[in-house]
Amino acid sequence: MVEIDIHLNSREWAEVARAFQKSNLPAPSRTPRPGSAAAILSRITAFILGPKPEQEPDTPRRRVLRDFVAATAARRRAAEEFVPALLSFGLNRVQVEALAMLTVPGRSSRSMATGR
């Protein structure tokens, strides 16, 4: 593949940083079934530690970002199957490459594109 130069303006870098931050947020936990052991334990924990802060709702964009980052980290190269979805959520190709480079530190954009 062709080497990709990462030239982004400050607004584009800010969007990449925001995307990377959102990709690292854990998926929202499910509410336990009322009366279950998990629900009772959750109430006891909330009583002792106080209520949990509100979680940001999971969105399709966040799920794709999380999946892209996880797959990219596991393979040590950009997970191409998630690129069309990322593009549809407003990132451009260079931003996707920058996100992949943040996910796998020490890898150049050329090695991200070729998988070497």
Within a domain: 74: yes
| pLDDT attached to residue 30 | 67
- Examine the pLDDT at 111 and tell me if it is beyond 50: no
pTM over 0.85: no
Within a domain: 30: no
| pLDDT attached to residue 41 | 82
Nearest residue to 78 (alpha-carbon basis) of 91, 60, 43: 91
| pLDDT attached to residue 116 | 45
Which residues form the domain of 85? Answer: 58-114
Within a domain: 102: yes
Within a domain: 92: yes
At position 52, the amino acid (one-letter code) is K
Alpha-carbon span 10 to 84, nearest angstrom: 23
| pLDDT attached to residue 84 | 96
Q: What digits encode the pLDDT tens for the residues 28-75?
A: 666 778 888 888 887 888 888 887 777 667 788 988 999 999 999 999
Look at the chain and report how many structural domains it folds into.
1
Computed over every residue of the chain, the mean pLDDT equals: 80
* Cα 56 to Cα 32, 33, 42, 65, distances in angstroms: 18, 21, 19, 15
| pLDDT attached to residue 107 | 58
Helix (H) or strand (E) holding 15: helix 10-23
| pLDDT attached to residue 26 | 67
Task: Transcribe 18-66 into DSSP letters.
Answer: HHHHHHTSPPPPPPPPTTSHHHHHHHHHHHHH-PPPPPPPP-HHHHHHH
Within a domain: 95: yes
Within a domain: 9: no
Within a domain: 72: yes
Within a domain: 36: no
Please count the other Cβ atoms lying within 10 Å of the Cβ belonging to residue 16: 22
| pLDDT attached to residue 85 | 95
Question: How distant is the alpha carbon of residue 90 from its chain centre?
Answer: 15
